Amino acid sequence: MNILLTGGAGYIGSHVALSLLDSGNDITIIDNLITGNKEILPKNINFYNCNINNKKKIKEIIQSSQFDILMHFAGYIKVEESVYQPEKYFENNTKNAISLFETCLENNLNNIIFSSTAAIYGNPKNNNPITENVILEPLNPYGESKMRTEKYLLANNDKFNSIILRYFNVAGADSQLRTGLISDEATHLIKIISEVAVGKRSKILIYGNDYQTLDGTALRDYIHVSDLADIHVEAAKYLLKNKQTNVFNCGYGKGYSVLEVINEANNITGNKIKFEFSKRRRGDAEKLVADVNKINKYIKWQPRYNNLKKIIESSINWEKKINEKNL
């Protein structure tokens, strides 16, 4: 396959780029390097430093090759920031994404894989794992911005064949440490735990211990980023074969509480992860666990890292590496 990938210098995009290359595909990456980092771009690939709303340049790029699929990762992803700067999220994650899709369509590229998020579900009322067809009620502008883009693709399914992947909590790093999460202001749980593990921070705050869960801390479905990357490769094959729009949850279907994750990290590090309880964070849901029946039915996918210990270990190993390299 020949894939055009936006956001390939970002966390998930760079892992997907590696999975595609490792399985013998061709890729071209577009990234404006605002939140992305050149250090984690795969070597010897076509790379363009370009905004996704630069219609002229994107047109030239699309016309330079016969792409099978656009995979669109470029986007802002910080929930709390989106609460304070909603316009930034609607501008980039919705308006610019739609402009990119239109440019693709104008140049006969109509197969799209879109990075969406479990944040579009909000706080589902019932306690079961979340299926793709529940009502979407995002709690924050980040989720809202992704939901609007999904709606555009779904409303235009006569023009586009698209696969919308709703990521649950993505964590961990490439087993060979070729890439991982680089963030100047980390917000994600396992990233922050890793920073504590390598001594970059003294402790972690647990946001809320008064949720209706077994230990009072919030539940999430953590998926290893390399498994998520493999899903994209298989979803791409599925899309080219079936040429149909579809929506899939991406997770393992099992929830861990914040305390359970910290306890596992403490087993790994010999109790290096000091923590304190703090108040709830704005925009956070109580429980987000995927119902994965649909993806398991349609996409040929075998998880390789469905193990919390492996996820945390790979994240800490990556943190050690970037700490030494000052990234």
Q: How far is the CB of 262 from ligand UDP (least distance, A)?
A: 9
Q: How far is the CB of 222 from ligand UDP (least distance, A)?
A: 8
Helical H runs in the chain? Answer: 11-22, 55-63, 79-84, 86-89, 97-106, 141-155, 189-197, 225-242, 258-269, 293-298, 308-325
Report the residue from 18, 30, 192, 239 that binds ligand UDP according to the rule CB under 6 A. Answer: 192
Q: Which residues does residue 162 pair with via DSSP β-bridges, in sequence order?
A: 112
Q: How far is the CB of 187 from ligand UDP (least distance, A)?
A: 5
Applying CB under 6 A, does 214 fall inside the site for ligand UDP?
no
Applying CB under 6 A, does 205 fall inside the site for ligand UDP?
yes
DSSP string for residues in 30-63: EE--SSS-GGGSPSSSEEEE--TT-HHHHHHHHH
Buried b (16+ CB within 10 A) or exposed e, 138-175: bbbbbbbbbbbbbebbeebeeebbbbbbbbbbbbbbbe
Binding mask 233-262 for ligand UDP (x = CB under 6 A): -------------------------x----
Applying CB under 6 A, does 178 fall inside the site for ligand UDP?
no
Buried b (16+ CB within 10 A) or exposed e, 297-318: ebbebebebeebeebbbbbbbb
Applying CB under 6 A, does 284 fall inside the site for ligand UDP?
yes
Applying CB under 6 A, does 147 fall inside the site for ligand UDP?
no
To the query of whether residue 142 is one of the catalytic residues in this protein, the response is yes
Cα–Cα distance for residue pair 295/129, rounded to 1 Å: 14
Other residues' Cβ atoms within 10 Å of the Cβ of residue 5: 27
Other residues' Cβ atoms within 10 Å of the Cβ of residue 270: 7
Applying CB under 6 A, does 206 fall inside the site for ligand UDP?
yes
Nearest Cα residue to 223 out of 305, 309, 124, 166: 305
Number of residues in contact with ligand UDP under rule CB under 6 A: 15
- Say if CB 11 and CB 170 are below 8 A apart: yes
Please identify, among the stretches 27-35, 83-91, 199-207, 225-233, the one whose residues bind ligand UDP according to the rule CB under 6 A.
Answer: 199-207
Applying CB under 6 A, does 189 fall inside the site for ligand UDP?
yes
- Say if CB 225 and CB 231 are below 8 A apart: no
Give 176's contacts (C-beta < 8 A, 6+ positions apart).
Answer: none
Q: Name the residue nearer to ligand UDP (CB basis): 57 or 281.
A: 281
Applying CB under 6 A, does 315 fall inside the site for ligand UDP?
no
Report the residue from 187, 242, 271, 293 that binds ligand UDP according to the rule CB under 6 A. Answer: 187
Applying CB under 6 A, does 287 fall inside the site for ligand UDP?
no
Applying CB under 6 A, does 34 fall inside the site for ligand UDP?
no
Report the residue from 15, 220, 232, 287 that binds ligand UDP according to the rule CB under 6 A. Answer: 220
Annotated catalytic residue, options 48, 89, 121, 142: 142
Please identify, among the stretches 50-58, 153-161, 187-195, 303-311, the one whose residues bind ligand UDP according to the rule CB under 6 A.
Answer: 187-195
Q: Name the residue nearer to ligand UDP (CB basis): 28 or 314.
A: 314
Q: Which residues bind ligand UDP (CB under 6 A)?
A: 79, 169, 187-189, 192, 204-207, 218, 220, 258, 281, 284
Q: What are the catalytic residues?
A: 142
